[in-house]
Every structure is written in C-alpha cells, then in structure tokens.
Amino acid sequence: MIRPVLALILSCFAASASAQDARAIHPPVQFGSGDSRIVNFNAMTTGAKVDNYYAGGANSLGEIGPDYQYVFLDDDWVTFQSPSQPQQGNMAYSLSGMGSVNFLAGLTTGLNFDYASDANTTVSIYADFDGTGTLLASYLLMANNPSAASSRFAAAGQFATSDQFGFVALAFAGTARSLVIASAPGAFTWDNVTFGSLQPGGVPEPEGWALLILGFGAAGAVMRCRAVSAPGALTARHR
C-alpha cells in the first residue's frame, strides 16, 4: 500500500515540477537558538562550496538549502567524498584552514561533530558574528589523521584517506553568534555536525526523498543517535 501511494506522490510532483532538482526544494524552517539541527552536507552535489546553503540561500553551484540560519564562510567550506569511505556521503573541509560559521538566530548549549585533521585545530566560539565579541569557549582538537597530509590534494583537492575520525562535543555558556576554526589550509574536515546540542542527533537535514513528501504536507525523518560517554565534556572516539 505504501509503494502505490508513494508512486502517486512522485508522479504528481513530477508533473508540477519536472524541471526542478529535488535538492533545491526545501520547506521554510522556523528556527531559534534553542533548537538543534544536524548538518551532514549530503543533500549537496559533491564539490560544492557550502556558502549560504544552510541559511536558505545558495551554495556555489546554485543549489538552495534549508533555512537553518547558519552562514558558512563564503568560498571556503568545500564538500567532498572520501575515496576510502564513499559510503559516508559528503563531508566538508576548510580550504583556508580558517573557516567560520555565523549563527544568525544565535546558538546555545554547544555542538558536536565527527572530524579528521592532519594538523592541530583550535575551535573558538564567540558572542558576536565573524569571530568577534566575547570569547565563550575555545578548544584544541589534536591532529588525528596524519596519513592525509601528503595526499590531501591527490584527487582534485579531496582527501585520499580519511578513515581516522574522532568525535567531539564542545560546550559553552551564553548565546553564540559565530564559530571560527584555526588550522592548516585544507587540513580540517568535519561531518555529522549537530549545532545546539552536546548529544548527537537533533533534527536531520532533509534528504531528496523526504523533500518530495514534505512538499505534499507529510514529513518523514530519520534520527540517528549515538551515546556520548561524558555529555558536556570534550570526548573523542574513532569510527
């Protein structure tokens, strides 16, 4: 019964929007500083620069994203897939090594993510936009992927190896408006970023099939939860 209904929905959508890419269709999002969202970069075409995608704007390829009120440093965060782990989907690395994210609606509590880096990286969280205002917290993430250093740009700027990933949860007090990393150019990669929570999870990023259903007023979401051994503290694990 489910398959015929889904087929009907898909056929109706194709008739009304056959010229549009499903990745470019997102319902409006009402988002506040107390909410948490997962950013996994998977709905974008590999190789796109994130730019304003997560603020309801466009990435470097013109794809329109959900309005989570997150603005990534323009022309810096690049999506890619690891040749050694293509099943993981897209990740994003900072081309300059000084990538930032502005939180237009503010951010509270903290954030968590998986990361790989062949250089030590500092993550600093600020009360104002663009890394200004009061420093709310700063964390040093140790290099955990030294094998990537010599082959990082071997495949058109993509990591040739990225199987060494750690998990971190970073807490802060107050309301943050920006996050800034300080690393080597192209060294820091992250994925499965949950903004606004110390626990992995939150509301998943819309995928292509889910957007089709959302367009007709029915939403489906898949939540992935992983236990954190010490919520509120900087923790690490490998996947």
**3-state DSSP assignment of residue 119:** coil
Task: Give the pLDDT of residue 36.
Answer: 78
Q: Phi then psi for 30, rounded to 5 degrees? A: -90, 115
Q: Which pairs from 224-227 meet CB under 8 Å and 24+ separation?
A: 224/38, 224/192, 224/200, 225/199, 225/200, 225/201, 226/167, 226/200, 226/201
Q: How many CA atoms lie within 13 A of 118 on its CB side?
A: 17
Per the CB < 8 A criterion, the answer to whether 55 and 42 are in contact is: no
CA distance 126 to 114: 21
Per the CB < 8 A criterion, the answer to whether 138 and 122 are in contact is: yes
- Single-letter amino acid, residue 3: R
Q: List, run by run, the mean pLDDT of 10-residue segments along the chain (239 residues).
A: 45 38 35 70 95 98 97 95 68 94 96 92 98 98 68 42 76 98 94 93 55 35 33 40
Per the CB < 8 A criterion, the answer to whether 45 and 81 are in contact is: no
DSSP secondary structure string for all residues of 36-48: -EEE--TTSPTT-
Per the CB < 8 A criterion, the answer to whether 105 and 37 are in contact is: no
CA distance 233 to 34: 19
| Residues 6 or more apart in contact with residue 133 via CB below 8 angstroms | 126, 127, 177
Distances (CA, A) of 20 to 59, 68, 99, 180: 16, 22, 31, 35
Q: Which domains does the chain have, with CATH numbers?
A: 26-214 (2.60.120)
CA distance 162 to 69: 29
Task: Give the pLDDT of residue 211.
Answer: 36
Nearest one of 62, 83, 75 to 161, comparing CA atoms: 83
Task: Give the pLDDT of residue 89.
Answer: 85
Its pTM surpasses 0.95: no
Which tokens go with 123?
Answer: 């993550």
